[in-house]
Amino acid sequence: MEELSTRYNPSDLEEKWYSRWKEGGYFEPRGTGEPFTIMIPPPNITAPLHMGHALNLVIQDIIIRFKRMKGFKALWVPGEDHAGIATQNAVEKDLAKKGTNRKELGREKFLEATWNWTAEYRQRIREQIEAMGCSVDWSRERFTMDDGLSEAVRKAFVHLYKQGLIYRGKYIVNWCPRCATVLSDEEVEHEDEKGAFYHIKYPIKGSEEYVVIATTRPETMLADTAVAVYPSDDRYEGLSGKTVILPLMDREIPIIQDRYVDPSFGTGALKVTPAHDPNDFQIGLRHG
């Protein structure tokens, strides 16, 4: 008779039963009811899964198992996201620990290192999902750089371009000098800093009056192209269309009305500097 262990090791039983579930195809969409599909938000391959991923996986697993029990043709599709620049940065940090970098490796060797990283972390993520007992259909696993998905992205891009929904234009972007590429807003970490408000008088042309601007970035005033006020702000009634003289530059710039301006912030008059702020850039486009 086999001796009963004094300690319970869940990994032994979990691996056994999860393997049976997979081999038996229990996670395939077998129901006879309406189709119900969840596409797992593909986790980035930059690192192992964390507690946030675990929480989301549990929620999805509860939903898909409930729908499966209700007779729906339930399908939960697993996958991983290549994560682009984020994965490149992770690989570069790993190379730095090994005393080298992508420039020393060269393009081909660096790509090889990146694909090795991809294979390693895709496998680690799979193992983590399986360890949680998630009822995903592994026969339908996807990776965001799979040929089929890449082709679908290209087709969608061309279709949207022909519809005029994708276009090229001028815009202020987040430029990374180290990566030598543009970063999306989601990839930029913003830090709040304590600063000072500087109040600057902009003389109104042909008058002894002036408009006071409150700004935390006085160094950008050399590139100002306008002063904006909120349309219904009584403090600046009658000033729209007039011009002020830009201090230091002795250049005339117009006073305009724009609903982007927050009347309760500062003095309610905004210096518009399209070259230094995305919101100002949009104001500039609206007013030509």
Give the model confidence (pLDDT) of 249-273 as tens digits.
999 999 999 999 999 999 999 999 9
- Same domain for 134 and 203: no
Task: Report the predicted TM-score, pTM, of the whole model to 2 decimal places.
Answer: 0.74
pLDDT at res. 66: 98
Answer yes or no: is pLDDT of 5 > 80.
no
Cβ–Cβ < 8 Å for 222, 229: no
pLDDT at res. 212: 97
- Which class for 45: exposed (0-12), middle (13-18), buried (19 or more C-beta within 10 A)? buried
Percentage of residues of the chain with pLDDT beyond 70: 99
Give the mean model confidence (pLDDT) for residues 176-186. Answer: 87
Asked, for residue 175, whether it belongs to a domain, the answer is no
Which CATH number covers residue 237? Answer: 3.90.740.10
Cβ–Cβ < 8 Å for 267, 213: yes
- Same domain for 204 and 92: no
- Same domain for 283 and 144: no
Give the model confidence (pLDDT) of 193-209 as tens digits.
898 999 999 999 999 99
- Arithmetic mean of pLDDT over the chain: 94
Range in 3-7, 227-231, 280-284 the model is least confident about: 3-7
Range in 116-130, 145-159, 169-183 the model is least confident about: 169-183
1 confidence band (pLDDT: 50, 70, 90): low
The count of C-alpha atoms lying within 13 angstroms of the C-alpha of 210, restricted to the half-sphere facing its C-beta, is 11
Tokens of 34: 């309406």
Q: 142, 163, 184 — which closes off a domain?
A: 163
- Same domain for 144 and 53: yes
pLDDT at res. 185: 87
- Same domain for 266 and 222: yes
Percentage of residues of the chain with pLDDT beyond 90: 84
Whole-angstrom distance, CA of residue 31 vs CA of residue 34: 8
Give the model confidence (pLDDT) of 93-129 as tens digits.
999 999 999 999 999 999 999 999 999 999 999 999 9
- Same domain for 236 and 127: no
